[in-house]
Structure 1
Amino acid sequence: MSSPPKQPGSFDNPPNYVFPHHCLTRTLRDSRKTPVVLVACGSFSPVTYLHLRMFEMAKDYVRQNTDFEIVGGYLSPVSDMYKKPGLLNAHHRVDMCSLATEESSNWLMVDSWEAFQAYQRTAVVLDHFDYEINTVLGGVQTSDGEHRNVRVMLLAGSDLIATMSEPGVWSPVDLEHILGRYGTFIVERAGASMDQATDNLARWRHNIYLISQLIQNDVSSTKVRLFLRRGLSVRYLLPTPVVDYIEQHGLYLDDAVGMGPSPEKGKEKESSGSTPKKEIYLGNSVAGAAEETS
C-alpha cells in the first residue's frame, strides 16, 4: 500500500519560504482533462538546456497522447545534504535554475523547499507539492468554476526507471507511493534502456509514461563542469543568464569549490536501505550515473 501523505501543517519549511505559484495556471482550458503539474528533482549543478527541454518533450507528449492538461512545471534542486562531487551549494543552484526558467519559460518555476533543508525523500517532496497546490492553494478550477485537484507527477530521465527496477535500491513503500499514488513521465536517455526496467515495474505500468527523445541530446552537467574546468566555452549548452552567472561567480573551476556540507549519516538514503542517486533523475546514462549526469 502507498504510505499516507503528510498531514496539513506537518511540513517543515525553510526560513522565509514561500511556495512559488506565479506561473501556475489556475483555470483549466479544457474541463474534460485532468490537471497535472510536473516536478523534476535533481542536482541541477548546473541546470542545462536539456533539463528544460525535458519539460517541453513531456508537454508535447501530454498534449498528443493523454487526457491530461499541464498547468505548471517545477524544478526542485536537491539539498546540500546530498553531498556529491560537483554539487554546488544550494543558493547558487537555485539562483541558476531561477535565471534559466525566468529567461526561457512562462510555465516553469523553481521550488527551493527541498534545497534549503535536510535531505528529503522523493516521496515526501511530491507530498509537499500535493499539499501546497491542492490543500493550500485549493487546486484549480474549470471555466464553470468547478474545483479540481491537480495531479502531481514526477518528470525524470530513463536512468530513474533503471534504478527503480533494481532490488534494494528504492524502498517498496516509496515506490508504491511515487508510482502508485503520483506516477511519472520518463524521458528516454542515451544508454539507458526502458523496456526491461518497465517490465520489472509492471504493476505500476498504468502510471508510467515513456517519452521517446526524437532529437538526441546528451548534454550533461558533468560534461559542462568538465568544459569549465578546462577553460572551454559552454555557451549554447546552458541558458545565457546561467553562463553569465557562472562566469561572474567563477564557478566550477574546481569541483571541490562551493560544495555543500557533508550529509548526516543515513540522510542520503531514501528509506529501508534504499540509495537512489537523485542526480541521475535527469541524467545521461546508467554508466555515468555514479559520477553525476544532471
Structure 2
Amino acid sequence: MDPTRAPDFEPPSSNKQPDPPLAPQSTIPKSGPIQPYVLADYNESIDAPIHPRDYKKQSRFGRRVSTAHHSSIPMKLDALQPLSHETSSEDEGEPRKSEANATTLQSTRQICTPLLEEYEALPRDHHIGSRVHKYQIADLEEVPHGVVRQARTIEEYAFPSHRLQKRLRNASKLPLVVVACGSFSPITYLHLRMFEMALDAISEQTRFEVVGGYYSPVSDNYKKPGLADAHHRVRMCELACERTSSWLMVDAWESLQPHYTRTAKVLDHFNDEINVKRGGIATATGERLGVKIMLLAGGDLIESMGEPNVWADSDLHHILGNYGCLIVERTGSDVRSFLLSHDIMYEHRRNVLVIKQLIYNDISSTKVRLFIRRGMSVQYLLPNSVIRYIQEHGLYVNQTEPVKQVMGNKE
C-alpha cells in the first residue's frame, strides 16, 4: 500500500528507525529465494519428449484425471451441496445403491421431511417461485452456511486458518503463503484472478507449494478517495472468495488496526501467526517446516516503490529480502525494466517473481465505483454476491472522487 496515504506520513530518513520496529530476521524462515528452475535442475534432457501419462493418474471412477497443481488444493467437501438421492452413479462405475448411500438417504429424509412440512405450512407470500423460501435465497457465489465471519473488533479477532494446509503434500517442495494487501473497494474478478495467475507461475517456475492465500484489506486510516468502511470491504472479500475459491481467505487484522499499518508489518503479522505461533507446517514425516510469506502486488504498487521519499529503504529490504514479492504486470507496463533500474529491487531480484498476464484484464475498483455512481451495470466485473451486497448497503452511489483519481486508475 502507498505509504503517502497514511495520516501521519513523513518522508523516510536513513537515520530514523522504523516505528513500530520490524520483526527480527531470526523469526522469519530461511527458505531461499523464489528462483526459476535452471537446466541443472532437470534429470534428463530439456528436449526430451513429454509423456502425458506421466502427469495423469486414474481416478476411482476409471477416468483419467490431471494431477496439475490446481488439484492440490481441493474444494472442501463440507462446502459443497449434498448430492440428491435421485442422482444415479451407475455412469460413474459404482452400484446405484450401496449401504452407505442408503444410510445417507435415510438421514437426508429425516432432516428434510420436517423442513418440507414447515414449508407447506407457510403463507404463499413467503414462497419464491414454488420451491424456495425468501430466507433461503442465495446465488451460487454466496458464502456457505457455517463459515465464521471475520471479527468486527480487534478484541474478538482470530486468525483465519480454515483453508490453510496443515500438511505439505509434495515432499520435494517448500511451503508458501501468498498475501495481497490493498483497499479492495470493491474486490473485483481481477483481484481473484491475480491469485490464480500467481498459483500457475509458482507451480511452473519455482520449487514452492502454495499452502494458502490471504486478502488483507487496509484499515479506514488509509486516506484514499472511494474507500468504503473497513467492515464492508472485509465482508465483500469474504463473499468473493469463500464461495468462488477453495484456498483463499480474508484476514481482518490489518483492517482492525487503530492506525495505518505498513506493508512490512502486515507481512510480519502473517509470519508471526503462521510460523511463530503455529510452528509452520508439517511434512509427511511429521517434521515442521517454516512457511515462506510473499506479497502479491500489481505493477503500479511496485512502481510506487521507486518514487523518492515514499517507501523507507529498511521496509523495502525487509519486504523484498526477508519475504519476497510476486508482481502481476498490468497492461502496458514494463516491470522487468523497472526492476533493472531500481537498486534495492535489483539487489533482491531472485526473491521477486514477475507474472505476465496471458489474458489481459484491466478491471479496476476505480472503474467499478464510477460505473455504480453513473447507474451503469457492473455485472461480470465482480461476483454476484458482491454486487448484491453493494446494492443492499448503498455503497459508492453518493460518493465523489477527484478526476485525477478516476482517470489515473492506479489500484
TM-score bracket for the superposition, by shorter chain length: 0.7 to 0.9
Aligned-residue offset at 1:146:
1.1
Shift of 1:167: 2.8
Task: Judge conservation of contact 2:174–2:291 (CA < 8 Å) in 1.
Answer: yes
Matches within 5 A, 1:1-294: 4-5=22-23, 14-117=154-257, 118-199=259-340, 200=342, 201-255=345-399, 293-294=410-411
Q: Which has the higher helix share?
A: 2
How many Å separate the matches in 2 of 1:227 and 1:289?
A: 11
Secondary structure, in 3 states, of the residue corresponding to 1:38?
strand
Regions of 4+ moved over 3 Å:
287-294
Matches of 1:53 and 1:224 in 2, distance apart?
A: 16
Q: Is the 8 A contact 1:41 1:76 kept in 2?
A: yes
Alignment coverage as a number of residue pairs: 261
| Superimposed CA distance per residue, residues 139-178 of structure 1 (whole angstroms, 9 cap, x where no aligned partner) | 1011111100100000001112211123322110000000
| C-alpha spacing 1:292/1:93, structure 2 compared with 1 (3 Å) | farther
CA deviation profile, 1:102-152 (whole Å, cap 9, x unmatched): 120110000000001121000000000000001112210111111001000
The CA deviation at 1:290 is 8.9
Q: 2:350, 2:324 → 1: CA distance?
A: 8
**Quick one: distance in 2 between partners of 1:292 and 1:43?**
13
Aligned to 1:185, what secondary structure does the other structure show? strand
Q: Shift in Å at residue 229 of structure 1?
A: 0.5
Which position in structure 1 is the counterpart of 2:73?
none
Identity of aligned residues (%): 55
User: Hey, what's the Cα distance between the residues in 2 that align with 1:138 and 1:86?
Assistant: 39
Gaps of 5+ in 2: 1-17, 28-152
Q: Distance in 2 between matches of 1:130 and 1:46?
A: 26
Deviations along 1:23-56, one digit per CA (max 9) or x if unpaired, are 0011111111110000000000000000010000
1:40 is paired with a residue whose SS is strand
Q: Which has the higher contact order (CA 8 A, sep 6+)?
A: 1
Q: Which amino acid aligns with 2:171?
A: S
Matched position secondary structure for 1:115: helix
- Would the aligned equivalents of 1:50 and 1:219 in 2 still touch at CA under 8 Å? yes
Secondary structure, counterpart of 2:254 in structure 1: coil
Distance 1:174 1:84, change over 3 A: same
- Tell me, in whole angstroms, the C-alpha distance in 2 between the residues paired with 1:107 and 1:228: 29
Residues 232 and 4 (structure 1 numbering): CA distance in 2 closer, same or farther, change over 3 Å? Answer: closer
Normalised by the size of structure 2, how large is the TM-score?
Answer: 0.61
Q: TM-score, normalised by structure 1?
A: 0.84
Counterpart of 2:186 in structure 1: which amino acid? P
Question: What secondary structure does 1:120 align onto?
Answer: coil
Offset of 1:81 from its aligned partner?
Answer: 0.3
Gaps of 5+ in 1: 258-286
CA distance in 1, matches of 2:408, 2:275: 36
Q: Secondary structure at the match of 1:15?
A: helix
Aligned CA distance change for structure 1 residues 133 and 289 (closer, same or farther; 3 Å): farther
User: CA deviation digits over 1:166-222, x for unaligned, max 9?
Assistant: 332211000000001000000010233212320112101011100000000000000
Closer, same or farther: CA 289–184 of 1 in aligned 2, 3 Å: farther
Residue pair 2:367, 2:409 contacting (<8 A) in 1 also: no
* C-alpha distance in structure 1 between counterparts of 2:300 and 2:409, whole Å: 11
